[in-house]
């Protein structure tokens, strides 16, 4: 089920990120915002605007994992792997199956 970007801090905590105080929460929310910005930079502006309110679940998971990676190793910064960037781009691009179904 699609939902808004960035994901909530609670979703990040569910994956094991410890919310051990106000500073940790601020860093985690900042990481979520940064990961969201990186993901949205991979798609056209119109798609980015749409995903701000209704993003595919896959994209939300990628954002959460990128933010989690940063909370585990803060010195590396927030980043998307090449594979994650490709998955975000694919989430934007319709598949052949969906295109042929819509033309029928």
Give burial (CB, 10 Å; 0-12/13-18/19+) of 1. Answer: exposed
State the total domains in the chain.
1
Query: What's the pLDDT tens digit per position in 28-51?
Result: 888 899 999 999 999 999 999 999
Residue 27 and residue 9: Cα distance in Å, rounded?
Answer: 10
Residue 68 lies in a domain: yes
Smallest Cα–Cα separation from 34: which of 73, 64, 61? 64
pLDDT at 97: 44
* Residue 17 domain flag: yes
Q: Which residue has the tokens 């598949």?
A: 95
pLDDT for the residue 98: 46
Residue 7 bridge partners (DSSP): none
Q: Is the pTM of this model over 0.85?
A: no
Residue 20 has what pLDDT? 63
pLDDT 10s digits, 56-95: 999 999 999 999 888 777 778 899 999 999 999 999 886 5
Domain membership of residue 32 (yes or no) is yes
Residue 56 within a domain: yes
Which structural domain, as residue segments, surrounds residue 74? Answer: 9-103
How far is C-alpha 4 from the geometric centre of its chain's CA atoms?
A: 10
How far is the C-alpha of 55 from the C-alpha of 62, rounded, in Å?
Answer: 11
């Amino acid at each position: 089920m699609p939902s808004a970007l960035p994901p909530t801090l609670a979703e990040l905590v569910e994956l094991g990120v410890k919310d051990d105080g106000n500073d940790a929460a601020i860093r985690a929310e900042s990481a979520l915002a940064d990961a969201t910005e990186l993901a949205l930079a991979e798609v056209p502006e119109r798609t980015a605007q749409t995903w701000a309110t209704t993003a595919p679940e896959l994209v939300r998971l990628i954002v959460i994992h990128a933010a989690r990676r940063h909370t585990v190793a803060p010195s590396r910064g927030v980043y998307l792997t090449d594979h994650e960037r490709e998955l975000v781009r694919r989430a934007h691009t319709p598949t052949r199956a969906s295109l042929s179904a819509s033309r029928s």
